[in-house]
Structure 1
Amino acid sequence: MPISERDETHLPKWTKWLDLSDRALAVLLLAPAALLLSLIIVYPVARLIYTSFFSLSLTSGLPAEFIGLENFALMIDDPVFWETLWNTVLITIITVPGALIVGMALALLANLPFATQWPVRLSLLIPWALPLSFAGLIFAWFFHSQYGVVNDVLVRLGFEGIIWFNSPNWAFAAICLTIIWKTSSFMALMILAGLQTIPRSLYEAADVDGAGRIRQFFEITLPLLKPSIVVALIFRTITALQTFDIPFMMTAGGPGTSTATLAMYIHQNTVSFLDLGYGSALAVVMFALSMAVTAVYLRIIRAKD
């Protein structure tokens, strides 16, 4: 009898439970991560959906009452909900492509063969590392009508200063410009990481074939960057749909509710009005919108694969 077989016959019976299949071992190793995700994601989302079916206002002093879909029905006749939803969608439509274009330009600049690249790459990290609320405060000062930097530059160039936060359109434009500045660095870092994976030999072969820089960009750089761009777009779109800090710090939703976002309306209902039922229903809508956008992106990725 071989030594290995003879040793196995003398092993205790309980050691057979240690001889797991690959599937059982994978389940065992993934169980802690699955449990953690359930605690920090699944349970809060389930609790949110559960609360959205109740009338739960802490200011009324009444116990929670099950009302089914009534909170969602209230949204149909709520003009503030539709305005904040439209503002959120419009911010997403404007800032996501804007951040992608600016981020692409910054990434290509940071990827150039400078003798010292660290100052350029450090400039990408600073906006990304800056807290959102702090960025909102800084740009609220930049766009101030009396002592703001932007109006000072406009006056020096011979233009008339703008009262940015008294006009819904100008206030919305100031918010979008701030968001693009803040988020373009994230897009640039994601795209720069993708640029680092493209083999240099492809560009050398293109140079030999006589392809110019523009043709190389559209036939080599852009196609190979698509995975990085899609991942960056997914994260940027989800965060755009959840925009809160920058418009809250710059305009607090004003004038009126012309620059308020859906996240700000959720905050107002849950924190200011203490209406947890309606606020939860609004949050469910935002969660569903985020999941729908993510599903569209993933479907595009699978279709291309």
Structure 2
Amino acid sequence: MLSKLKDPSEKTLAILLLTPAFLLLAMIVVYPIGKLVYNSLFDINKTGAYIGFLNYTDVWRDPLFWNATKNTLLITVITVPGALVAGLGLALLANLPFKRKWPVRLSLLLPWALPLSFAGLIFAWFFNTDYGVVNDVFLRLGLIPESVSWLLKPNWAFAAICLTIIWKTSSFMALILLAGLQMIPRSLYEAAEVDGASRWQQFWQITIPMLMPSIVVALIFRTITALQTFDIPYTMTRGGPGESTETLAMLIHKYTIDYSDIGYGSTLAVFMFLISLAVSGFYLHHIGKNAS
């Protein structure tokens, strides 16, 4: 017995080393999710009684839930590819052989370092009807006859929010893709040039395939954060006009904070967690296929 304690087997040692990590994971992930599901089974706002899956059926019939889910998915579908394309362009630009690379790479970091709510306030000022930069520039160029209420029209407000999110998150994508670009051996491009491949052919036959693992990682992180979008639309439009720009995270905030309906808000959060889990599973499945 003493010898086993002094010289544990590899399995015992692995369990001992992984136990703190499992405990930490249970404390910061498993317990909050469990508490969320538990709260969703109660009518906490009114009677505090156990109501089972009544909140879930109410959510399923709630038009506000479907509207917020549609807006969230639409923001994800628009901003994730948009940020990827913009980020790839910025990464390729930053990877050029500048004499001093740190100012270029620092400029990539600044938009990502900017707080989300601050970015929303800046672009809300840009699109302001009375003193916004966008109206001023368009009027000077003669592109519009009069000032446009960008954030008061549903479609334009949604487009402004998507543009802001793409600007804010493209730098994050660029930093990940830049790291991937620096891992591509220069010898591959030299061999392609010897074979007579053009820059465009090198981009599609070397850069994109070699960069694919970094692209997938960037897409995973960006998609998960896109599904949780809150700060930028909240600071720009508060979900308006009406509920045309309200996201699922904003709807959860409305019920839990504004209405103090913790049970219903927890149910909405469970649905958002399931959507995020499904998207993560989709990406991981494709990562596994690519790895094999």
Partner of 1:251: 237
SS of residue paired to 1:65: coil
Q: Could you say which residue in structure 2 is the equivalent of 1:210?
A: 196
Amino acid at match of 1:54: F
Report the AA paired with residue 171 of structure 2. S
The list of structure 1 runs, each at least 4 consecutive aligned residues, that deviate by more than 6 angstroms after superposition, is none
Q: Distance in 1 between matches of 2:17 and 2:108?
A: 37
State the SS of the aligned residue for 1:258: coil
Task: Indicate whether 1:78 and 2:62 are aligned.
Answer: yes
Paired AA for residue 113 in structure 2: A
- Structure 2 matches for 1:220-239, cutoff 5 A? 220-239=206-225
Q: Does residue 182 of the first structure (1) align with residue 163 of the second (2)?
A: no
Letter in 1 for 2:163: L
Offset of residue 76 of structure 1: 2.5
Moved more, 72-81 or 244-253: 72-81
* CA–CA separation in structure 1 for the residues paired with 2:242 and 2:208: 42
1:141 & 1:213 partners in 2: Cα distance?
41
Amino acid at match of 1:303: K
Distance in 2 of aligned mates of 1:189 and 1:152:
33
Matches within 5 A, 1:126-275: 126-160=110-144, 161-275=147-261
1:89 aligns with 2:77: no
CA deviation map 1:227-270 (0-9, x unaligned)? 11101101100100000000000000010111000000000000
Deviations 1:251-296 (CA, angstroms, capped at 9, x unpaired) = 0001011100000000000011010111000000000000000000
Alignment match of 1:106 (pick from 76, 86, 90)? 90
Cα offset for 1:162?
A: 2.0
User: Which residue of the partner structure matches residue 8 of structure 1?
Assistant: none
1:290 maps to 2:276: yes
Structure 2 residues without counterparts, runs of 5 or longer: none
Aligned-pair distance for 1:15? 4.9
Q: Give the count of matched residue pairs.
A: 289
2:106 — aligned with what? 122
TM-superposed CA distance for 1:37, in Å, is 1.1
Cα distance in 1, alignment partners of residues 195 and 213 from structure 2: 26
| 1:68 corresponds to | 52
2:11 aligned partner:
23
Runs (5+) with no aligned partner, structure 1: 1-12
| Range 111-120 or range 276-285, more displaced | 111-120
Rounded to whole Å, the distance in 1 between the matches of 2:213 and 2:262 is: 39
After superposition, where does 1:37-52 map in structure 2 within 5 Å? Answer: 37-52=25-40
